[in-house]
Structure 1
Amino acid sequence: MKVKIDIDGLSDAVQEELKNWQENTCNPVLNEAYKAGAEEGKKVLRQGGPYKERTGAYTKDWAVTQRNSIGRKVAGTESYSVHNKKHYQLTHLLQNGHASRNGGRVKAYPHIDSAEEKAEKAATDYIEDKLGG
């Protein structure tokens, strides 16, 4: 579509087109990518980790929740958290290890880092697919 714009209005026209592109193209793709990344992280965490689990409840309780943040209102994008609903206290202890009753240390089982990397890769791959890389 051709539109005649005089030189004085060029800056405003370019800004308006960039704003439309962001609202109509970028933000929906980013929202879907963030959701897909969070779901991928949840899936990886639900598969378990290097730790030995007795009941299986820890791995079953991973969930994705949409966050209500101020950035969402400003940028127009959504954000998600992957968290353990019932056993949130264990995440830090398993990830980093902790002091034991006998004065020693309990081994750390870094399982959240790998899920975070896979979630980030899933989100970036989705964005590159939809918007072109």
Structure 2
Amino acid sequence: MARIINVDQLAAGITRMIKEYTDDVSEKIERKVDSVADKVLEEVKATAPKKTGKYAKGFKKTKQGSLGKAKRVIWNSKDYRRVHLLEFGHAKVNGGRVDAIPHLRPAYEKYGAKLPEDIKNIIRSGG
């Protein structure tokens, strides 16, 4: 015998299932973004210029964004002004240039380039 359900019950059931799916997907995306950010941070610390080692130790991972938006920022908490100068090079006071020492961009490109495809796969698989 067929079971008859109320339209409100159907709507509540569909809403519950969509919320479960969204929560699962959001949680897995958060974990994936965190793991990629950890890899980038590890790589940056390993490839950063090491005159004394203090510059490389200053890199941190910060969680930013609002609910449903997984965003991580890798930055140098001690020498944040120096990152741009080392990454892109800069002019010397008496003329000439200091060569760039890319360390942040290569790490991001190595691990972050695959992240959009990984997120698409997480969404397709339903979390």
TM norm structure 1 = 0.70
Contact 1:64-1:81 at 8 Å conserved across structures:
yes
Shift of residue 40 of structure 1?
Answer: 0.7
Q: 1:77 aligns with which of 60, 65, 69?
A: 69
- What is the number of equivalent residue pairs in this alignment? 120
1:38-69 CA deviation, whole Å, 9 max, x = no partner?
111100011124x4x320111111111111x3
Gaps of 5+ in 1: none
Q: Which whole-Å CA distance do the structure 2 matches of 1:122 and 1:4 have between them? A: 47
Q: Which whole-Å CA distance do the structure 2 matches of 1:4 and 1:35 have between them? A: 45
Q: List 4+ stretches of structure 1 deviating above 2 A.
A: 3-6, 12-20, 121-132
The equivalent of 1:117 in structure 2 is 109
* Superposition RMSD in Å: 3.2
Contact 2:92-2:98 at 8 Å conserved across structures:
yes
The percentage of aligned residue pairs carrying the same residue is: 26
Q: Which whole-Å CA distance do the structure 1 matches of 2:63 and 2:24 have between them? A: 21
Ranked by relative contact order (alpha carbons within 8 Å, sequence separation 6 or more), the top structure is 1
Shift of residue 106 of structure 1?
Answer: 1.3
